[in-house]
A and B are shown apart, each in its own frame.
Chain A
Amino acid sequence: MKKLVFLALVLSLFIVDTSDARKKKKKYEVIDVTNGGSITGTIKAASKVDDPVMKIETKKPDEVEFCGTEFQSNMYIISPDLGVKNVVVALLKVKQGKAMPEKDYVINNLKCQFEPLVGLAFKGNNFVIKNSDALFHNTNLGIQLKGGKKRAVYNLALPNLNQVLKKKIKTKGVHSIKCDAHPWMRAYVYSSDSPYAALTDDSGKFEITDIPAGTYKVLIWHEGFGEVKQEITVEAGQATTLDHTFSK
């Protein structure tokens, strides 16, 4: 009997432990970051890549006129010294650090395109989805999973001009946005569960600041070049450099 009671106790401990572990996995803890480190760097392309022009095909006559027939995709915005714009650089599985930004993420349907093309959202805020066209749009937003699969997060109808919908940002990772009514429309948003994410500027540069010292996994993602993950160690009060060169 004693043995059994002991077994039960051990078991109950195990049960408490697993449910606790699950909770911990979810939660980001805000702490005072003093003497944090930073990561700066430049993301480059090995060589110039032509930015494709994309076609617009629609059977609705009013859309042919309003949306045009083709557009510059802006997939590869590369500076003269090969810096790549719109690359997401994000630390993964950060357990604690500075406060999350309080900022909603606006997805605008404008002239038959999404605006912006690539952006950063922070979990807990809202997606603010706007229709600035006098056309039916729908915003079909989903997480990109391994192997090119996609998981729907929201598919919302926006039939009217100036319609605005607000939806909680609940999921993390690279999300793609499509409009089923206009198959050429596309956008990407990286939703971060920590404040430590950045987007490269026109010259391919980025900066992430106030990071508690430690070793992190970092994601570098670009629509056309794809993604790489690597490890990086950040030291207190120091700037660590993270450069990467993508090749096609």
Chain B
Amino acid sequence: MHQKQRKGFFVLSLLSLPILLIMTVMLTGAENAYGGNANGEEIYKINCAVCHGVKGDSKGEVCYNTNVEKSGKEITTYSRDFTLGVFKFRTTATGCLPDENDLKRIISTGIPKSFMPSFNDISPEEKMALIEYVESFSERWEEEDPCDVITTYMPNWVGKSYSVEKGKKIYQDMKCWECHGDKGDGAGPKADKLKDDWGHKMVPFDFTSGALKRGTAPEDIYITFTTGLDGTGMPSYEDTLGEDDRWHLVSYTLKLMGR
């Protein structure tokens, strides 16, 4: 992002020195590259550091929290270490950095199930400054080119009974049940031994609880198994399932959630 801005800046400077001059003054005067006065570091320290750590390494005072699931299972969730540069809730393929809009969304909605609060009162300008600051914790943002955003168009047959039937078979064939359980209750044969990439115990989602982290829209579910949740055991099925099959699977999982 920085780089693009700088390049554009350079082209301008060639066109006309006076413009460059004005921009230089603007850039040095502003606190961030978006031309606003919001201070990302300050906003971060006030709102985020308590969990994500002053250094972004997840070593804040409240770095984890334990919930009890509907099934009685305990889930301990750790706040994210931004120095890793790993994100779960992306609209980009597995292994990619998230899109800027993914981050904006997470900050607005929070992740209620993971005790991350929503920050609706942060203005759009402040949000951009905050995101820029969060990105500064990992060199990934400087080094990598952005990935394409996966767009979703939900067909009108999602939720119809024939689609639910097809989805049921796909849930079996794709072995979702090995982690998420035959009945979608999160009690598959692999469920007990799952760990995330950082060694913490992971609990696969219990569909019957319906308490999703990303969001409850059909598109959110579609995106979850399309992109995978990096860092957790939840893999990407983008290369394994065609788009229609993925929507059938959405139909079935909506049913599992009683929707």
- Chain A contact residues, CB within 8 Å of chain B: 4-5, 7-9, 11-12, 15-16, 18-19, 22, 26, 57-60, 136, 138-140, 142, 145, 149-160, 163, 165, 170, 178, 180-181, 183
Contact = CB atoms under 8 A, between A and B. Distances in A.
Contacts of A15: 6, 9-10, 13
B235 A157 contact: yes
Nearest to A184: B193
Nearest to B7: A19
Interface stretch (B31-39, B108-116, B157-165, B194-202): B194-202
B3 A22 contact: yes
A8 B24 contact: yes
A159 B190 CA distance: 14
Classify chain B's interface size. 35 or more
Nearest to A18: B6
Contacts of B132: none
List the 3 closest A-B pairs by CB distance, nearest first. Answer: A180-B233, A136-B175, A152-B230
Contacts of A178: 197
Nearest to B85: A151
Interface stretch (B65-73, B117-125, B236-244): B236-244
Majority SS at the chain A contact face = mixed
A5 B13 CA distance: 11
B253 interface: no
Contact of A152 (B6, B94, B173): B94
A19 B6 contact: yes
A136 B10 contact: no
B239 A152 contact: no
Nearest to A139: B235
Contacts of A59: 189-190, 192
Interface of B: 3, 6-7, 9-10, 13, 17, 20-21, 24, 81, 83-86, 94-95, 140, 142-143, 173-175, 178-179, 189-190, 192-195, 197-198, 228, 230-231, 233-237, 239-240
A8 B21 contact: yes
A110 B113 CA distance: 37
Contact of B235 (A16, A58, A149, A180): A180
Contacts of B174: 157, 159
Contacts of B140: 151
B13 A8 contact: yes
A183 B21 contact: no
A152 B175 contact: no
Given A16-B10, A156-B235, A163 B95 contact: no
Contacts of A163: 240
Contact of A19 (B3, B81, B231, B239): B3
A151 B84 contact: yes
Given A155-B235, A159-B240, A180 B194 contact: yes
Given A22-B3, A142-B197, A5 B17 contact: yes
Nearest to A149: B84
A155 B90 CA distance: 14
Given A11-B24, A57-B193, A157-B240, A138 B235 contact: yes
A168 B126 CA distance: 36
